[in-house]
């Protein structure tokens, strides 16, 4: 008897699916702290419309762009407790007990004349001040971000990159001659921030990589915003590319799941972005960029993938190729008499979501695999994961799809050790362990 054993990992058909969304809600206000104050009573009309959109779509993990920052997270807490978690017009309330907010470069003054208008304006409240901030904003925290999650956030493992200097990015696109040497000593690549927010789902995790690059407009012939937009998008590409993230203090390990989300202010084929900037992510070997969510309402061939009223695709949810399978997705843009059509005009952007099936990774659910053989039986053992379900499958030929389920083989799990016992194979047979998250 000649015995061949191959142990692979394959997902069950029934795996846990999560809905991940990004939404530029345009809730930024005219002064510091005003947004949190407006959300205090739960009656703000714009916030109620945003909340109703969220209650219709019901994402599990949500990024809000253009949601002003306050140091205590009061705005995000009130948005959840008094809007998302309160039924709007009979919709199902959505509770996000886990939230993350952090400082944004918008409205933080640089101390320099970054817009080269001849004035260093350090008095907050106007556009001239905003032009000299690290990221445009009339006051600290304007146009910031907030993450809302139904799953736990590992706050201790969050990484933020708001202080990374633009000059430290190798091969950067800083416009030649526009910024002085002293300005380049302080100028940051991120106009808001870039966050790696680990989110724990079913005993595993994915990295929610969120950002909001500057629009590639509102500048001059030097194209400083277009160039910065390109490099802000590039930051995530570098973070995912081995050997390219030393200036970030290291990148994301290759075996990790992730979802990139945010208003990237870049369309793959149109608009003012530099060198098709978003393709740095869409074409990245670790990113699943082929699926393009379409609009839910009436569309034409030319606008079916737009995510904003200015006729561009700029808002993205992009998962890793490993660990996820894209089940569905859409740009929530109802029209006419469709549900929610009266709500979406609260912003010039539309909510974009993907439904992502969690696909087990072999090193998550099958560890310390051992195989014992005798004349009578084959015993397979491995360290199992409590959140996963398992079964065995068998094939006699790997060149064709001959895998069959071995439902008659009972897998016993005791103290995290899974054991499968079956009769000793006769001839050439291959086995694999199939796993799923449910």
41 backbone dihedrals φ, ψ, rounded to 5°: -90, -10
| Mean pLDDT calculated for residue range 375-389 | 92
Q: Can you give the residue range of the structural domain that contains 386?
A: 363-437
Query: Domain with 286 in it: what CATH number?
Result: 3.60.10.10
Answer yes or no: are the C-beta atoms of 110 and 128 closer than 8 Å.
no
pLDDT band at 34 (very low <50, low <70, confident <90, very high): very high
Predicted pLDDT of residue 161: 98
Q: Is the pLDDT of residue 2 over 60?
A: no
Q: Pick from 17, 15, 74: which is nearest to 40 by CA? A: 74
| Mean pLDDT calculated for residue range 4-17 | 56
Distances (CA, A) of 234 to 68, 210, 268: 25, 13, 14
**What does pTM read for this prediction?**
0.92
Has residue 5 been placed in a domain? Answer: no
Domains identified in the chain, total number? 2
pLDDT band at 11 (very low <50, low <70, confident <90, very high): very low
What DSSP designation does 13 have?
S
Final residue of a structural domain among 359, 393, 410: 359
Has residue 249 been placed in a domain? Answer: yes
Residues 396 and 425 in one domain: yes
Has residue 392 been placed in a domain? Answer: yes
| Mean pLDDT calculated for residue range 229-253 | 98
Give the HSE-up count for residue 437: Cα atoms under 13 Å, Cβ half-sphere.
Answer: 21
Summary mean pLDDT of the chain: 94
Q: Is the pLDDT of residue 42 over 90?
A: yes
Residues 367 and 353 in one domain: no
Counting beta carbons within 10 angstroms of the beta carbon of residue 379, is it exposed (0 to 12), middle (13 to 18) or buried (19 or more)?
A: middle
The residues, any chain, with a CB within 8 Å of residue 92's CB and separated by 6 or more, are 55, 58
Residues 72 and 184 in one domain: yes
Token readout for 193 is 């921030």
The residues, any chain, with a CB within 8 Å of residue 105's CB and separated by 6 or more, are 133, 134, 135, 162, 188, 190, 191, 192, 193
Predicted pLDDT of residue 18: 97
pLDDT tens column, 251-303: 999 999 999 999 999 999 999 999 999 999 999 999 999 999 999 999 999 99
């Amino acid at each position: 008897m000649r015995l061949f054993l191959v142990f692979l990992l394959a997902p069950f058909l029934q795996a846990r699916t999560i809905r991940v969304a990004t939404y530029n809600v345009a809730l930024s206000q005219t002064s510091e702290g005003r947004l949190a104050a407006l959300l205090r009573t739960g009656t703000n009309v714009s916030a109620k419309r945003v909340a109703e959109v969220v209650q219709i779509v019901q994402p599990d993990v949500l990024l809000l762009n253009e949601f002003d920052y306050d140091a205590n997270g009061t705005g995000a807490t009130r948005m959840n407790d008094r809007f998302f978690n309160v039924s709007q017009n009979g919709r199902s309330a959505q509770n996000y007990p886990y939230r993350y907010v952090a400082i944004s470069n918008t409205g933080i003054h640089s101390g320099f004349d970054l817009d080269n208008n001849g004035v260093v304006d350090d008095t907050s409240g106007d556009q001239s001040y905003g032009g000299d901030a690290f990221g445009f904003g009339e006051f600290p925290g304007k146009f910031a971000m907030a993450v809302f999650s139904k799953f736990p956030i590992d706050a201790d493992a969050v990484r933020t990159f708001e202080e990374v200097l633009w000059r430290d990015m190798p091969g950067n696109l800083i416009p030649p001659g526009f910024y002085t040497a002293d300005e380049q000593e302080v100028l940051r690549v991120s106009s808001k921030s870039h966050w790696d927010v680990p989110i724990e789902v079913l005993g595993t995790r994915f990295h929610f990589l969120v950002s909001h690059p500057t629009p590639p407009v509102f500048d001059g012939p030097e194209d400083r915003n277009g160039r910065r937009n390109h490099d802000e998008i590039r930051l995530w590409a570098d973070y995912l590319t081995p050997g390219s993230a030393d200036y970030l203090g290291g990148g994301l390990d290759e075996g990790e799941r992730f979802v990139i989300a945010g208003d990237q202010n870049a369309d793959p084929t149109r608009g003012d972005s530099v060198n098709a900037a978003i393709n740095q992510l869409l074409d990245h070997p670790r990113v699943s960029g082929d699926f393009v969510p379409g609009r839910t309402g009436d569309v034409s061939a030319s606008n079916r993938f737009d995510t904003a009223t200015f006729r561009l695709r700029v808002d993205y949810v992009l998962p890793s190729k490993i660990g996820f399978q894209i089940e569905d997705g859409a740009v929530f843009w109802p029209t006419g008499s469709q549900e929610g059509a009266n709500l979406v005009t609260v912003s010039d952007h539309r909510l974009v979501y993907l439904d992502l099936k969690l696909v087990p990774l072999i090193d998550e659910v099958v560890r310390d695999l051992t195989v014992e053989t005798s004349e009578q039986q084959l015993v397979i053992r491995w360290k199992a994961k409590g959140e996963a379900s398992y079964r065995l499958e068998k094939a006699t030929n790997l060149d064709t799809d001959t895998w069959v389920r071995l439902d008659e083989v009972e897998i016993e799990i005791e103290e995290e050790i899974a054991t499968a016992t079956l009769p000793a194979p006769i001839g050439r047979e291959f086995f694999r362990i199939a796993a799923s998250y449910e």
